Amino acid sequence: MTIQRELPLLAESYVRATNDHDRSGFHSLFADNAVVDDAGRMFRGLDAIREWSNREIFDAQVTFRVLDATDADGAILITTEVEGNFDRTGLPDPVIIIHRLRLDGDKIVELTCRLAGQ
């Protein structure tokens, strides 16, 4: 595992699209057959990913503050502090999420989001 000083372009675009509330830019980052695993909830394909991200990220006005980025086993791990208008019941304060991005060329093919420590 190596600590990255700068995020790879696609990972940087993922964070920027989220923080800029750029739905179409965010959606364009994913491959047609991409899979999102958000704390065990699975979303397969662009339509499901659009519905998930619109509801869970954009409607909730989520933003990320990058705390760390590493590469491990062919994936990029981005650790973020997450803010937004979402239900925080049962969540730690602050909310720290690790995003694992697996890339294929210029697209995200797999995204896994987990609370840090889980």
| Residue 8's pLDDT band (cuts 50, 70, 90) | confident
Token readout for 103 is 């890339």
State yes or no: pLDDT of 18 exceeds 90: yes
Residue 23: left if φ>0, alpha if ψ -120 to 50, beta else—which one?
alpha
Tell me the pLDDT of the chain averaged across its residues.
93
CATH class of 2-115: alpha beta
Backbone angles phi, psi at 8, to 5 degrees: -55, 155
pTM for the model stands at: 0.92
State yes or no: pLDDT of 1 exceeds 50: no
pLDDT confidence of residue 3 = 44
pLDDT confidence of residue 116 = 95
Name the amino acid, one letter, at 109.
V
| Residue 42's pLDDT band (cuts 50, 70, 90) | very high
- Read out DSSP for the chain? -EE-SS--HHHHHHHHHHHTT-HHHHHTTEEEEEEEEETTEEEEHHHHHHHHHIIIIITTT-EEEEEEEEEETTEEEEEEEEESSS--TT--SSEEEEEEEEEETTEEEEEEEEETT-
Query: What percent of the chain is predicted at pLDDT more than 90?
Result: 86
Average pLDDT of 22-34?
A: 98
**Residue ranges covered by each domain of the chain:** 2-115
State yes or no: pLDDT of 11 exceeds 70: yes
